[in-house]
Amino acid sequence: MLPFLAYIAETSNAARIGYRILQLTHDIATLESEHERLQAIASSLRAPDRIEQLATARLGLQAPRAGQIAALPLPPIASRRVSPTLPGWWERIDEYFHRSEAAAAEPPQ
């Protein structure tokens, strides 16, 4: 009698697990379709034409006219002054742990 009850319990447990798997598979399909829908909405909200239309209609913005945008020249890299500072404690620790294997074989100075 006991083996029969164990068989019935395992069969009902397997059926319950099967139904749970079926439900989760359905949930996954639903979430994937919802994700695709939300991706499409996000893509349409990021469209440059839509943003431009909202900027002009709601915010009253206008495209810049000639002369309103200026490019500032940067000095060449060689002429930029960088103040030489000694590495701090944190930089030395970082340098120690990020050195190459060849450098790691050498004793620290």
d(CA 6, CA 8): 5
For 44-71, write each residue's pLDDT tens digit: 999 999 999 999 999 999 988 888 888 8
The tokens for 95 are 């340098």
Position 1 confidence tier, pLDDT thresholds 50, 70, 90: confident
Q: What is the pTM of this model?
A: 0.47
d(CA 50, CA 53): 5
For 3-23, write each residue's pLDDT tens digit: 888 888 899 999 999 999 999
pLDDT for residue 98: 73
Position 78 confidence tier, pLDDT thresholds 50, 70, 90: low
- Residue 97 Cα distances to 49, 86, 101, 102, 104, angstroms: 49, 18, 10, 13, 9
d(CA 102, CA 82): 29
Largest CA distance in the chain: 94
Closest to 49 (Cα-Cα) out of 57, 60, 37: 57
